[in-house]
Amino acid sequence: MLEKYLQVHPEVQKAIAAGEPVVALESTIISHGMPYPKNIEMAKNVSRIIRENGAVPATIAIIDGVLKVGLTEEEIEFLGTSKDVVKASRRDLPFIISKKLTGATTVATTMILANLAGVKVFATGGIGGVHRGAQETFDISADLQELANTDVAVICAGAKSILDIGLTLEYLETNGVPVIGFGTDEMPAFYTRRSGFGVDYRVESSMEVATALKAKWDLDLKGGMVIGNPIPEEFEMDYDTITNAIESALKEAEEKNIAGKKVTPFLLDRVKTITAGKSLESNIELVYNNAKVAAQIAKDLSDISK
Ligand code: PSU
Ligand code: MN
């Protein structure tokens, strides 16, 4: 049944079947999160970093209606250059399939497809969350609901302050999603290492994360886990610079009435322009850092699951 929809790359399939470490990667970051050609360069480097750290990369997307776990370099290039790629969240999946469209997967959809294929560890930049002003707009990313329900660990650099980090943490708490600080007591704020908000647990090693994940899923405590891995110091942005850029981007989004799925890509693009590309450099570096940690977690999880 599943084979009708899902195509797992042979290398990824082999690794999954053998219980070897695999790391899932999302594709919205390629098509809607970063401009060409940096997006493609980033996607290829991330895959290389995962390999160098002993795991198999599986970039996830939907091509012509087929759910793909593990893309070829040509497919990554296609996603990074084509203008007709739909940003695909959970609600979009059925129609992207029936209309044979090409879709880039958000954190939510990447989790769904990774889980269908049997991949349990996923590296990205940042998760979606509760947007500032959500009390009025109801803008809460479907990523959070997916974390509540789908058994995949997400290694990220925290949540950006385009979001309301405090409310995002509250939402995750309500839904029983553990939020972990990798070598930190604070939820990282994506471009900066600190947010002022504490995490539930601080861990110092990938094995600690793997052991907790195994316990969670052994006990059928459904849902994912957020592993907040702070951006390396040398790539961190100046707090005032990024805060001002985010404030102006948010104001502009409001003036232009940007809503729905367009909000996050709009804000990311504006922040990039306002910071003269500096935010993009930070964004790329933190993804690399997350890929490395995710590969280590996947390796440890594979070791203790055999
Ligand atoms: N944060 C980033 N870059 C991104 C995204 C978030 O720094 O590209 C993407 C991810 O795919 C995430 C999605 O799942 O935006 C969230 O979108 P929304 O807020 O519409 O749920
Ligand atoms: Mn939204």
What was the pLDDT predicted at 106?
A: 98
Active site residue 26: yes
Closest listed residue to residue 112, CA positions, set 69, 79, 63: 69
Q: Which atom of ligand 1 is nearest to the CA of 32?
A: 8
- What is the CB neighbour count within 10 angstroms for residue 211? 15
Is residue 33 lining ligand 1, measured as CB closer than 6 Å? yes
Per-residue CA distances from 111 to 54, 127, 270, 278 (Å): 21, 11, 27, 29
Backbone dihedral region for residue 141 (phi beyond 0: left; psi -120 to 50: alpha; all else: beta) = beta
Crossing angle for the helix pair 142-149 and 165-174, nearest 10 degrees?
Answer: 30
38 is in an annotated binding site: no
Question: Residue 259 C-alpha to ligand 2 middle, in angstroms?
Answer: 8
Q: Which atom of ligand 1 is nearest to the CA of 141?
A: 21
Pocket test residue of 46, 91, 229, 264 for ligand 1, highest count of atoms within 8 A of CB: 264
142 is in an annotated binding site: yes
- What is the CB neighbour count within 10 angstroms for residue 143? 28
What was the pLDDT predicted at 161?
A: 86
List the pLDDT tens digit at each of the 306 positions of the chain.
999 999 999 999 999 999 999 999 999 999 999 999 999 999 999 999 999 999 999 999 999 999 999 999 999 999 999 999 999 999 999 999 999 999 999 999 999 999 999 999 999 999 999 999 999 999 999 999 999 999 999 999 999 989 999 999 999 999 999 999 999 999 999 999 999 999 999 999 999 999 999 999 999 999 999 999 999 999 999 999 999 999 999 999 999 999 999 999 999 999 999 999 999 999 999 999 999 999 999 999 999 998
Is residue 143 lining ligand 1, measured as CB closer than 6 Å? yes
> Is the pTM of the predicted complex or chain greater than 0.85?
yes
Which residues are in the CB-under-5-Å shell of ion ligand 2?
139
Measured by CA distance, the residue closest to atom 3 of ligand 1 is 33
The ligand whose atoms approach the alpha carbon of 32 most closely is 1
CATH (residue range 2-236+280-305): 3.40.1790.10
What are the domain boundaries of the chain? 2-236+280-305
Is residue 92 lining ligand 1, measured as CB closer than 6 Å? no
